[in-house]
Structure 1
């Protein structure tokens, strides 16, 4: 996905971007996504993000990743993975997701000026393609 902006879901329950939290020892995928994308905007492509979230979520040791990284990645991508339209970040936490021309990803809080600018320039000749995140409920 390139030059695309995912707007928060129409049924998003928050009015500002909220950092996800968890009391579980094993962090949920959307929390890992948030940490990676907020700390390093425009570093990860979707495939790189899926891989990084996978190894962190499964708590695969760095030593194993160094030895078997390509094998782990190949096995992971034997099946399809949802795009970020299905992530809890734009669905429930108020974060827009931008994929730049290179497919690298960054998050924008729904109340930010940058978020509004993506919406205003979206679907224009030079602006990003706009999509809503998937709704949490049918309706």
Structure 2
């Protein structure tokens, strides 16, 4: 599981014309993913993001030790998981997900020059679309 030198472009049915930071009182998956990726671009891999979102939503997260986290990570990935093409960031909030050569992720706003260049075929990246929200 992982992408390398890839842009997950916003979904065809994304409802925004420019990226929007997820907000609200409740920490949604979108808000948590945004916080992680905005705070430390090109540090986390897809696997890191998927696992950390899942484990941080557990009520006992603050009490888990390294060995418990490692065991939970193994358990988490023992089942098939949706990739970040299903993330709400490129589906609803207008953020592309840009993976470097080592599979680490940074946010790439859809209105940015970098996003436009990559989608147009520049930079040597593979471009895949985020999953659509609707089935039509």
- Distance in 1, matches of 2:59 and 2:116, equals 37
State yes or no: 1:7 paired with 2:4.
no
Scaled by the length of structure 2, the TM-score of the pair is 0.90
| Structure 1 spans left out of the alignment, 5+ residues | none
CA RMSD after TM alignment: 1.5
State yes or no: 1:44 paired with 2:50.
no
- Distance in 2, matches of 1:77 and 1:53, equals 13
Deviation at 1:59, TM superposition (A): 4.1
State yes or no: 1:21 paired with 2:23.
yes
In the alignment, what sits opposite 1:129?
A: 126
Which string of whole-angstrom CA distances, capped at 9 and with x for unpartnered residues, describes residues 18-74 of structure 1? 0111322xx222211111001111000111111211221224333413341111111
- Distance in 2, matches of 1:69 and 1:114, equals 36
- Rate the CA distance shift 1:107–1:74 in 2: closer, same or farther, 3 A: same
State yes or no: 1:83 paired with 2:95.
no
| Structure 2 spans left out of the alignment, 5+ residues | none
Q: Is the 8 A contact 1:29 1:57 kept in 2?
A: no
Scaled by the length of structure 1, the TM-score of the pair is 0.89
